[in-house]
Homo-oligomer: A and B are copies of this chain.
């Protein structure tokens, strides 16, 4: 059945019922500390404010630009469209809370596909404590999904502007697996099945680093952002925001053995420019980084340092000491 058959309101009713069925208990999901006063279906959602700093972010994906149905099945698309937003909240050291979902859909979209999309959203929402509290659905010649997400945190958020020369640069896990998975699928490359399955899963089912963000923040890390466009690009943005440069060491960039196995010659390219890693990049004085690294997941590593230099410039140092500027001054989605 297509949306044009079921109708807008029929579809909204189905999705709302999926969403609210998932909330536990009499007070709209007290297990996740939601304080909803008005749920989906009115002019706006409403809740009681927490005594905290509030966070607010949004992220959009467009079919053919950010995803294809071939590389990203519907439930994974739902998971990922929330994951990229949760990752932004994680990068501030916060907890995600309330989401609005906007769907741009052609009338010939299959209702069952949109239900699968929501299944993926609800799955990650349940895992990370996100309540979908409303949204908008519009007709569009191209499919797009916009998520707007709030979060909270007690204490100061981690920023991009606070890096200092001498800080170490570190990441919370292996880089490039998602990009490697996408490349395998797009180019139909052969790889050992274990490696291929791992990389595909990394692309389709990323796990935003919410717990890591909270731990970093509680350990006194002041500077962080999430890695979504690739390490080289995102570190460059962080450096630009802080008015500094960075040097990173090729042999310190953490790469999963499966990525190395599938791409023995160009795993480093994936790690630097792969995108959609959704782990955290942070900078802090050496003693802080040494203190937090043992508490982070496998792969977490110090990879270089913040230095004085042209704002935004990231230099890669190879094992034999060769230096290459790898920052691209912001990857241009319109180029």
* Interface residue ranges, A against B (CB under 8 Å): 3-4, 7-9, 37-38, 41-62, 64-66, 88-89, 91-92, 94, 98, 100, 102, 104-105, 107, 133-142, 144, 146, 148, 150-153, 156-157, 159-161, 225-226, 241, 329-330, 332-335
Contact = CB atoms under 8 A, between A and B. Distances in A.
A65 B335 contact: no
A42 B153 CA distance: 15
Given A107-B334, A142-B141, A100 B160 contact: no
Contacts of A49: 49-54, 152
Given A8-B332, A144-B104, A333-B139, A46 B38 contact: no
A135 B102 CA distance: 14
- Of the listed residues A37, A50, A54, A102, the one surrounded by the most CB atoms of chain B closer than 10 A to its CB is A54
Contacts of A156: 37
A11 to B, nearest CB: 8
A38 B156 CA distance: 10
Oligomer copy total: 2
Contacts of A160: 41-43
17 contacts: A7-B330, A7-B332, A37-B157, A38-B157, A38-B159, A42-B160, A44-B88, A46-B56, A47-B56, A49-B49, A49-B54, A56-B133, A57-B100, A58-B135, A141-B142, A146-B146, A146-B148
A101 B134 CA distance: 17
A262 B59 CA distance: 43
B60 A45 contact: no
A139 B156 CA distance: 33
Contact of A48 (B47, B53, B107, B335): B53
Given A56-B133, A57-B45, A65 B138 contact: yes
Contacts of A100: 56-58, 148
Contacts of A91: 43-44
Contacts of A38: 92, 157, 159
A67 to B, nearest CB: 12
Contacts of A329: 9
A37 B8 contact: no
A44 B94 contact: yes
Given A41-B241, A104-B62, A334-B7, A46 B92 contact: yes
A85 to B, nearest CB: 9
A318 B65 CA distance: 53
Nearest to A213: B43
A282 to B, nearest CB: 12
A3 B89 CA distance: 29
Contact of A138 (B46, B54, B333): B333
B60 A53 contact: no
B57 A9 contact: no
Nearest to A159: B42
- Of the listed residues A44, A56, A57, A92, the one surrounded by the most CB atoms of chain B closer than 10 A to its CB is A44
A94 to B, nearest CB: 7
Contacts of A89: 43-44
A321 to B, nearest CB: 31
